[in-house]
Structure 1
Amino acid sequence: MSSEKHAPGSAAGDSTFVYVTFIRTTPQALWTALTSREFTERYWFGMHHECDWQTGSPWSLRFADGRIADSGAVVESDPPRRLVLRWRNMFLSELHAEGDSHCTIDIEPVEYAVKLTITHSMARPGSIFIEKVAGGWPRILSNLKTLLETGEVLMPLVVTAD
């Protein structure tokens, strides 16, 4: 899960993170979980997407209080098989300065499960942003998998006074 692995079709100077998991669900149920606010808020620690999921549409990921965490656009939308987002961090200046990344979400039925592959890449070697998403995606996707398979998240949002 190194941020320096190269996905098929990525350039040698890119920073790329790839995560693969198998979830006992259907492609449509996974697509709904990935794109609906109700599901996203449960497994993404209170955050949610704002988007109509049509190719060319604007996309944003927002904190529970409405602040924009990340934004971009839908590059490709092929429900329930593939979603590609242009993605830019909006709340940390050092990450924002790195520019746009691309996040590709591939959904493939495999026997009684679904193979979910997230490929998040940026055309910049040693990207700090890709290093950060390499730490975030496993937590988010573990929550998503557990939610779809059991009805509960693995790591519920813990709110502190800080």
Structure 2
Amino acid sequence: MSSEKTTFVYVTYIRATQQKIFDAITRPEIAARYWGHGNVSDWKVGSKWEHVRDNEEKKVNIAGDVIEIDPPKRLVISWSDPAEYDNREAHSRVTFDLVPYEDMVRLTVTHDELEAGSGMANGISRGWPLVLSSLKSYLETDEPMDVFANPCATETAA
């Protein structure tokens, strides 16, 4: 039984080098600063990677495999709930493409092979814009956003 698939694409321009952005994605101590999670792997094709919460619990929230890596231009990983890691059909795919653009880098994140209407598809459509905005803010100003903040909770009625 096959389900309908969907794709999410987000493009942003960051005033940083390709290497600095690539390192921010792949080095857990940097990712933790703007994402609240470290991306942990040896970053070799076929290796497992884990998205580990940067707190005392160190919970693995996402797991997958390194599919393709071409530092500092491209990274392709599979993406799944850790409980579904062994079920390859449950994996989606994330591609990070980093292309120089004038004095910036155009970062395109493509998250595809998502089951349309799934909790994962709904979650990443809200999560990627927040995480990538925090990445941009962190690399350009050294001030990440609070990716765990709930903006609706701080709004006041007019």
TM-score range, shorter chain: 0.7 to 0.9
| Runs of 4 or more above 6 Å deviation | none
Mapped pair 1:49 → 2:43: no
2:33 maps to 1:29? no
TM-score, length basis structure 2: 0.82
CA distance in 2, matches of 1:71, 1:155: 23
Identity of aligned residues (%): 40
1:5 corresponds in structure 2 to: none
- What is the aligned length? 141
Instruction: State the match for 1:81 in structure 2.
Output: 73
Q: Runs of 5+ in structure 1 lacking a partner?
A: 1-12
CA-atom RMSD in angstroms: 2.0
Between Structure 1 and Structure 2, the one with more helix by share is 2
Residue 157 of structure 1 and its aligned partner are, at CA, apart by 5.7
CA distance in 2, matches of 1:60, 1:89: 10
Contact conserved, 1:53 with 1:74, CA < 8 A, in 2? yes
Unaligned 5+ segments in structure 2 are 150-158
**Deviation of residue 127 (structure 1)?**
3.0
> Which string of whole-angstrom CA distances, capped at 9 and with x for unpartnered residues, describes residues 96-127 of structure 1?
9x811000110000010000000111253333
C-alpha contact (below 8 Å) 2:80/2:91 kept by paired residues: yes
Asked whether the 8 Å contact 1:122–1:130 carries over to 2, the reply is no
Does residue 107 in structure 1 map to residue 98 in structure 2?
yes
1:72 and 2:64 are equivalent in the alignment: yes
- Contact 2:130-2:147 within 8 A present in 1 as well: no
